[in-house]
Amino acid sequence: MFEELGRDIAQYVWENREELEGVDLWKEIEYDTLECMLDNDMITYFQFEWSAYEDFYTEIMETLEGFMNEITQLLEADPTWTIAETETSLYITRRKPEE
């Protein structure tokens, strides 16, 4: 379920990459994972609002895995875009032209 969610997020990001350039996708993946869990009665609204994301590490990582697998394939179709990763963030961005 979470890998499929990750693939869906990747599709959405790809289709809206112009608008989402520079947006922290890691936060979106975390939020969407918990929202999915809430919608499927896996957590309560209180947990959704007040729990630490670390409490749902496994589910978030499954979503991230699905996202990365799908976005990697989509990026192959247009090499002018890439995923930039930092220690705490994930962004879609245009590749810098090589000099």
pLDDT at 35: 94
pLDDT at 49: 85
Query: pLDDT tens digits for the chain (99 residues)?
Result: 999 999 999 999 999 999 999 899 999 999 999 999 999 999 888 888 888 778 899 999 999 999 999 999 999 988 899 999 998 899 999 987 765
Residues contacting residue 26 through CB under 8 Å, at least 6 positions apart: 88, 89, 90
Q: How far apart are CA 29 and CA 36, in angstroms?
A: 10
pTM: 0.89
Residue 55 per-residue DSSP state: G
Residue 1 per-residue DSSP state: -
Task: Report H helices in the chain.
Answer: 2-15, 17-20, 25-39, 45-50, 57-77
Q: How far apart are CA 37 and CA 62, in angstroms?
A: 13
Q: Are 16 and 81 in contact (CB under 8 A)?
A: no
pLDDT at 98: 66
